[in-house]
Structure formats: C-alpha cells, structure tokens
Copies of this chain bind each other. A is one copy, B any other.
Amino acid sequence: MIENAIFKALADPTRCAIFEKLATGSMNASALREGMTISQPAMSQHLSVLKSAKLVREERQGRFVNYEVDPEGLALIAGWLAKYRAYWPARIDALKALLKEMDQ
C-alpha cells in the first residue's frame, strides 16, 4: 500500500506546500525554506517523508542536495484514481480540465 504513504505525506499542509513549491522548479532545502517560517530540521524531516512517498527525489550536488518532483508518486496517484473511473461524472469541471490537458 504505497498509495497510503503518499496520501499520508500529502495530508500535512506544510508538506503539501513544500511539494507545490518544488513543482515550480527543483531547488535545495535552503532555497525551499526561503519565505516559509520553518526550521531547518523540520524541512529536512518533511523532505524525508515526501521522498519515501516517492513524491520527491534528491540529487546530491556537492555540498548541496537538489530536490525535485518525482513523477512516480504522481503516477501512483493517477493509477489509484483510474480504479474509480466508473464514478467520474461526465461534467465535473476539474475533470474536464484534466481531460483537456491530457488530450493535447
């Protein structure tokens, strides 16, 4: 049940915000911390959780560690969602937007 770890990781609003920030471009932990009132260890712990949920992956660059979105986690969510396609109504806006995005 890896999806469970993913949902657990995204359940925390701080972690969700970190992920969204990372989605605007990969960066290191210190850069991520800028603009957020969060201690260095807290950031490290959050990144660790996101990493083991496959939502984020790291790449050592000398003294820095560059973090980036890991597509695997997103794909796992997409896979989970696909199981319930039978319940998607034809005209929910968000879904329509998704379909349009994917169509191109």
Contacts and interface: CB of A to CB of B under 8 A. Distances in A.
Interface residues of A, number: 37
A85 B79 CA distance: 14
The secondary structure that dominates the A interface is: helix
A60 interface: no
Interface of A: 1, 3-4, 7-8, 10-11, 13, 16, 23, 69, 71-72, 74-79, 81-89, 92-95, 97-99, 101-102
Contact of A16 (B7, B82, B93): B7
A12 to B, nearest CB: 8
A79 B97 contact: yes
Task: Kindly list the 10 A-B residue pairs having the minimum CB-CB distance in the complex, ordered from nearest.
Answer: A79-B94, A75-B92, A7-B10, A82-B98, A8-B11, A11-B11, A7-B11, A75-B94, A69-B87, A75-B95
